[in-house]
Amino acid sequence: MSNQNNKSIDAVIVGAGFAGIYMLYKLRQQGLDARVIEAGTGVGGTWYWNRYPGARCDIPSMQYSYQFSEDLQQEWEWSEKYATQGEILSYAEHVVERFGLADGMTFNTRVEASHYLETEDQWRVELDNGETIQARFVIMATGCLSKPNFPNIPGLDQATVPVHHTGSWPHEGVDFTGLRVGVIGTGSSAIQSTPIIADQAKSLTVFQRTPNYSIPAYNEPLDPDYVAELKSRYGEYRQENWQRGFGADFDDNDQSVFEVSAEERQRAYEERWAKGGLAFLAVYNDLVFDMKANDTAREFFKSKIATRVNDPELAEKLIPSTPIGCKRLCVDSDYYEIYNRDNVHLVDLNESPIIRIDGGVVVTESGHYEVDALVLATGFDAMTGAVMNIDIRGQGGLSLQEKWAAGPKAYLGLATAGFPNLFLVTGPGSPSVLSNMLPSIEQHVEWISDCIEYMNANQHRTIDPEPNAEEAWVHHVNEVAETSVYPGCNSWYLGANVEGKTRVFMPYLGVPPYVEKCQEVVAAGYEGFALTSG
Ligand code: FAD
Ligand code: N01
């Protein structure tokens, strides 16, 4: 199938989301010949694919943006506290245009395979258009949440009504006016989209397997005075955020839940709730580390959900029994209130699971639900899905699928032993999805580009993690996770949402110690990595 062009370049970057865009910028600054290959027809990654109604960021826009260019961060104007998908996509497009990166990107093309050629210390990258590129480095900027998870429901592939996954939404949009709509899933994507769908549709049926905690966003236009004040110290502010647990300013409080009285705690919870957003989790320093501390917040959330839903029986079904935070806390605009509408119905799949889709009918054990359109808000094969989708083969022909069959192993989430000169941006074992991802992406891209620069300056031919260092890091990632509530429920952090996927806690908890470790490794001459010369 391939026309063996055998073009040889310095680096292939897979993906044109925020990671791929910045990676290309950095490698070009070093004068390297790098090329981005992207499956979509444009840049933006997450923000290119997730065009469902209501899609927004949940980290405030003033923080969910690049910081590598002071000019860029001063010039760009966000309109709202949490920008819409459209605005974030425009921002990604603007960055590409501003830094003249488009000519280094190939769109509408998927990387199918990447094989290491041992005699040449090169990667042979195969594209789905038949082209082959040879490169010294391959950088997987393929995203943590980019491979949609399609539920294995009998009859789904023969549905006679339109079926849309939130992670792969039609560019032209979907008009639900007058339709009976079914939404499967109650994660962030469903929680953001259902209030808008409920407004449009004739009826909305939400199929819930596990309820989630959600806090209001209280989204609003950005106050120009606030923006001016922040921009006057933007660099400093960004620096401060590196010292914060999630790499984001959540107004972290360093007190324990148990250092304050019950009344004081209630007051603090109310205050955080009134502000809205993910910052709730930073109200005390042990909320995601101590189950008893977590319980106090759970009780608070339960009472809030109960006040937002008129029917107490229904409210009960919407209240999770899991620790708060062990699945990503959702941030909503009028989510629970949809259940007070006559045209919205909740189907609790714990009482009656979906058996099949029969044409345009969702059939559960105890009911038939006719729909005119079905939305799959069923999430992603997270952290590993996109990388494992590519036939990657390293030294000795070992495939990544084989190596990661019992769970992903990557040193610092940046590289995996046996696959020299292949880097992962926000790979498993790095803070990634447990952080403000844009700074984390920048930190990884800079680490990788510095490493390549170091290799070139010192005539190093390859870099590869040492297996012992990798094992020790994977062990450490799990050890840290065990000190928290995170492994305590069936989340995508563990791969539990994908049938047959090995359950291993994948992200690293704690931005400051992670960044410090990355710096220490470099200072010690890339400790834990084997470098070859020549
Ligand atoms: P992506 O944006 O996922 O880009 C990866 C790209 O790689 C995709 O375009 C994909 O098509 C391409 N690709 C993958 N495999 C191949 C292949 N084989 N060949 C060619 N191309 C390929 N994070 C936050 O920190 N804050 C938020 O508020 C936030 N909101 C989010 C909202 C949604 C709806 C979702 C789904 C995620 C959100 N995230 C958020 C996480 C978000 O994924 C990251 O913040 C960030 O956008 C990831 O950028 P990326 O470049 O690493 O990956
Ligand atoms: O996906 P999810 P998402 N039958 O995995 C259910 C980011 N994000 O797209 O919990 C029935 O959270 C599944 O049920 P269960 C953010 O990091 C951010 O919503 O597995 N149901 C769950 O309810 C987020 O965490 C924003 O029991 C099935 C839902 O589908 C991540 O992306 C917005 C099922 C999937 O929830 C993923 O969010 C959107 C089945 N067979 C996304 N399979 C912001 O707000 C799955 N489900 C910024």
CA dist., res. 397 & res. 269, Å (int): 54
Atom number, ligand 2, closest to the C-alpha of residue 497: 20
Compute, in angstroms, the gap from residue 209 CA to the centroid of ligand 2: 10
Enter the tokens of residue 448: 């990788």
Q: Is residue 238 part of a domain?
A: no
Q: How far is the CA of 250 from the centre of ligand 2 (A)?
A: 23
Report residue 410 as tokens: 């990557």
- Check pocket membership of 21 for ligand 1, CB cut-off 6 A: no
- Predicted confidence at residue 11, as pLDDT, reads 98
Considering the domain architecture, whether residues 134 and 157 belong to the same structural domain is answered as no
Please state, as a whole number, how many other Cβ atoms lie within 10 Å of the Cβ of residue 466.
14
How many angstroms does the Cα of residue 46 sit away from the middle of ligand 1?
A: 4
Measured over the CA atoms of residue 511, residue 513, residue 519 and residue 522, the dihedral's sign is: negative
* Ligand 2 binding pocket includes 331 (Cβ within 6 Å): yes
**Same domain, residue pair 11 and 115:** yes
The answer to the question of residue 142 being in a domain is yes
Whether 344 and 317 map to the same domain: the answer is no
List the CATH number of the domain containing 390: 3.50.50.60
Q: Which residue has the least CA distance to atom 24 on ligand 2?
A: 188
CA of 241 to the centre of ligand 2 (A): 27
Nearest to 49 by CA among 38, 60, 59: 38
Q: What pLDDT is stored for residue 6 in this prediction?
A: 57
Alpha carbons 85 and 88: distance in angstroms, whole number: 5
Task: Provide the number of structural domains found in the chain.
Answer: 3
**The pLDDT value given to residue 1:** 34
Element (H, E) at 274: helix 262-275
Interatomic CA distance for residues 20 and 419, integer angstroms:
20
Q: Answer yes or no: do 331 and 192 share one domain.
A: yes
Q: Ligand 2 centre and the CA of 2: distance in Å?
A: 37
In-domain check, residue 226: no
How many Cα atoms are found within 13 Å in the side-chain-facing hemisphere of 347? 22
The number of the ligand 1 atom at minimal distance from the alpha carbon of 43 is 9
Residue-range definition of the domain harbouring residue 179: 149-213+325-379
**Nearest ligand for residue 127 CA:** 1
304 and 165 in a single domain? The answer is no
Please check whether residues 356 and 404 belong to one and the same domain: no
State the greatest distance between any 2 C-alpha atoms of the chain, in Å, as a whole number.
71
Residue 231 belongs to some domain of the structure? no
Number of neighbours of residue 75 by Cβ within 10 angstroms: 11
What is the 179 CA–ligand 1 centroid distance (Å)?
Answer: 30
DSSP per residue over 321-363, as a string? -SPTTSSPPEEESS-GGGGGSTTEEEEETTTS-EEEEETTEEE
Residue 227 lies in a domain: no
Looking at residue 534, its pLDDT comes to 81
Give the residue ranges of the chain where pLDDT is below 70: 1-7
Q: Which of 392, 384, 388 is nearest to 113 (CA)?
A: 392
Q: Decide whether any atom of ligand 1 lies within 6 Å of the 37 Cβ.
A: yes
Tens digits of residue pLDDT in 24-62: 999 999 999 999 999 999 999 999 999 999 999 999 999
Please state at what angle helix 18-29 crosses helix 85-98, rounded to 10 degrees.
10
> Which of 296, 324, 352 is where one domain is finished?
324
Centre of ligand 2 to C-alpha 380, Å, is 7
Taking alpha carbons only, the member of 465, 455, 449, 421 closest to residue 123 is 421
Residues 300 and 347 in one domain: no
192 lines ligand 2 (CB under 6 A): yes
Shared domain for 46 and 180, answered yes or no, is no
Task: Give burial (CB, 10 Å; 0-12/13-18/19+) of 482.
Answer: exposed
Over residues 481-506, the pLDDT tens digits come to 999 999 989 999 999 999 899 999 99
Ligand 2, atom 39, residue with closest C-alpha: 189
Q: Is the CB of 88 under 6 A from ligand 2?
A: no
Long-range contacts formed by 95-101: CB under 8 A, 24+ apart: 95/21, 95/66, 96/21, 96/43, 98/72, 99/25, 101/21, 101/24, 101/25, 101/28, 101/36
145 lines ligand 2 (CB under 6 A): yes
Structure tokens at 37: 């290959």
Which amino acid, residue 171? H
Instruction: Tell me if 268 CB under 6 Å of ligand 2.
Output: no
Please state whether the predicted TM-score (pTM) of the whole model is above 0.85.
yes
189 lines ligand 2 (CB under 6 A): yes
44, part of any domain: yes
Domain end residue (candidates: 379, 409, 443)? 379
Q: Which atom of ligand 1 is nearest to the CA of 110?
A: 19
Q: Is 78 in the pocket of ligand 1 (CB under 6 A)?
A: no
Same structural domain, 202 and 107: no
Ligand nearest to the CA of 209: 2
Going from the Cα of 153 to the center of ligand 2, the distance in angstroms, rounded, reads 16
Contacts of residue 362, defined as CB under 8 A and 6 or more positions apart, other chains included, come to 182, 184, 205, 207, 354, 368, 369, 371, 374
432 lines ligand 2 (CB under 6 A): no
- Residue 330 and residue 359 in one domain: yes
For residue 412, report the distance from its CA to the centre of ligand 2, in Å: 26
- Establish whether residue 386 lines the binding site of ligand 1, counting it when its CB lies within 6 angstroms of any ligand atom: yes
Residue from 38, 146, 390, 432 whose mutation best tests the ligand 1 pocket (most atoms within 8 A of CB): 146
**d(Cα 360, Cα 454) in Å, to the nearest integer?**
58
> Same domain, yes or no, for 485 and 528?
yes
Is 85 domain-assigned? Answer: yes
The verdict on residue 351 lying in a domain is: yes
CB 433 within 8 A of CB 384: no
Same domain, 92 and 185: no
Of 205, 324, 328, the residue with max ligand 2 atoms within 8 A of its CB, to mutate for a pocket test, comes to: 328
Name which of 192, 199, 213 is nearest 55 in CA terms: 192
Checking 458-463 for CB contacts under 8 A at 24+ apart, the result is 458/531, 458/533, 459/533, 459/534, 460/531, 460/532, 460/533, 461/121, 461/532, 461/533, 461/534, 462/121, 462/420, 462/421, 462/531, 462/532, 463/415, 463/420, 463/421, 463/526, 463/529, 463/530, 463/531
Kindly report the backbone phi and psi dihedral angles of residue 362, in degrees, each rounded to the nearest multiple of 5, phi listed first.
-90, 115
